[in-house]
A = this chain, B = another copy of it.
Amino acid sequence: MRGAHRTEEIAPFYVMQILARAAELEAAGKDVVHMEVGEPDFDTAPPIVEAGRRALAEGKTHYTPAIGIRALREAVSQFYRNRYDVEVPAERIVITPGATGALQLVLAATVDSGRSVMMTDPGYPCNRHYVTLLGGRTIAVPVDPETNYQLNADLAAKYMDADTAALLVASPANPTGAVLDDAGLQSLMALAADQNRFLIVDEIYHGLSYGRSLPTAAASPSVFVVNSFSKYFGMTGWRIGWVVAPPEHMDALDRLAQNMFLAVSTMAQHAALAAFQPETIQVLEQRRDEFQRRRDYLVPALKKLGFGVPVDPAGAFYVYADSSAVVPDSFSFCRDLLEEAGVAVTPGLDFGSHRAADHIRFAYTTSIDRLREGMDRTARFMESRRL
């Protein structure tokens, strides 16, 4: 029997095929440099792990309220006060199963079937599938270095239609590492308010920015902000994130969360309380510094090989390199680079269709030594191909 039509619209992530093929090659004894993985290579910081172990020892194995334990919602509120000097009351905060849950929760609360959500192409690939699941439609706005790979008010106004329920932006963004500055954020907020659309800001990679501190949209009581403990806080496997919502939508989010999630992992919530402690933040900042060193190695190394990096990737842990001067088709290049040189990277195709064949995402989620090895292998591969 045939499944639902939507299943045919959901393409696999190519990065998953690459991961699987890399694992096969490794099982056959080949060494692979992993520059495809969207996950910090560090284990969760010790104080967080210890808090998780303590929670388990204390029998913290039962359900919590759907929107999370009060102590964690207050800790997130305090974090906004400490780090950004803004007031985000705990009453506006929902703890979620990762940003994955957070994005689906916010879209379920804001986007009716038949309406559209605007997002960038390239962008995080799951977003359009969340919209599909809800019977909505994606407006993929092609973005280029000219607008720092971000939406701005002009672009948004140009692509908006009568059905547009929400604009979804990310800063720092996956795959480009591009950030929104305060003026950009304010102009999108103004447009959304003026046109009566929801603005959803994905701040999943906040904390991982280099050379500048980023403004948060969370202070605005009319914006939905999605965040995660996965990236800066290094808690990927725990599956925990959060939403900051306009107060008048909290009741709907609570009812949706009761149904969609029932509750979030209890031990993850108790562990996350330790994520904001000074000794944890110290570890996380050292890791952030290490990501910056890797970026500062990788960007010039890629440019030396002929890849274009027209905009400084100011956040996250990705370089979205323009490969058009090097190869005509990034997809086959990625495939062959893995097979012949043992370097795993992600083709642009995973992130949309706009100039996808001209781009490759290089993740710097591995050590500088391994990045160097990856670049050396890439150089030799290109020489052998006379690229």
Chain A residues with CB under 8 Å of chain B are 1, 3-7, 10-13, 16, 39, 43-44, 49, 52-53, 56-57, 59-64, 66, 97-98, 100, 104, 108-113, 126, 129-130, 133-135, 165, 196, 198, 222, 234-239, 246, 249, 252, 254-256, 258-268
How many identical chains are in the complex? 2
Chain B residues with CB under 8 A of A110: 3-4
Which B residues touch A52, using CB under 8 A? 56, 267
State in angstroms the CA–CA spacing of A258 and B198 once bound together: 26
Contact of A196 among B1, B10, B12 (CB under 8 A): B1
Q: Which residues of B contact A98 (CB under 8 A)?
A: 262
Sample 6 A-B pairs with CB under 8 A, ordered by A number.
Answer: A1-B246, A39-B62, A44-B59, A53-B57, A126-B262, A265-B265
Instruction: Please indicate the chain B residues that have their CB under 8 angstroms from the CB of A262 in the complex.
Output: 98, 100, 126, 239
**Contact for A63 among B39, B263, B265, CB less than 8 A:** B39
Q: Contact at A112–B6, with CB atoms within 8 Å?
A: yes
Give complex CA distance A56, B238 in Å.
Answer: 10
Contact check, B61 vs A5: say whether CB atoms are below 8 A apart: no
Cα–Cα, bound, A361→B60 (Å): 26
Contact between chains at B126 and A259 (CB < 8 Å): yes
Question: Across the interface, do B49 and A61 meet the contact criterion of CB distance under 8 Å?
Answer: yes
Taking a contact as CB atoms under 8 Å apart, the answer to whether B7 and A237 are in contact is no
Chain B nearest CB from A220 CB (Å) reads 13
A254 to B20: give the CA distance in the assembly, Å.
13
Residues of B within 8 A of A237 (CB): 60-64, 263, 265-267
The CA of A59 and the CA of B262, in the complex, are separated in Å by 27
B residues within 8 A CB of A264? 239
Contact yes or no, B236 A16, CB < 8 A: no
Measured CB to CB, the nearest residue on chain B to A99 is B262
A134 and chain B: residue at smallest CB distance: B133
Q: How far is the CA of A6 from the CA of B252 in the complex (A)?
A: 10
With contacts A3-B252, A261-B100, A265-B265 known, is A61 near B111, CB below 8 A?
no
Across the two chains, which residue of chain B brings its CB closest to A52? B56
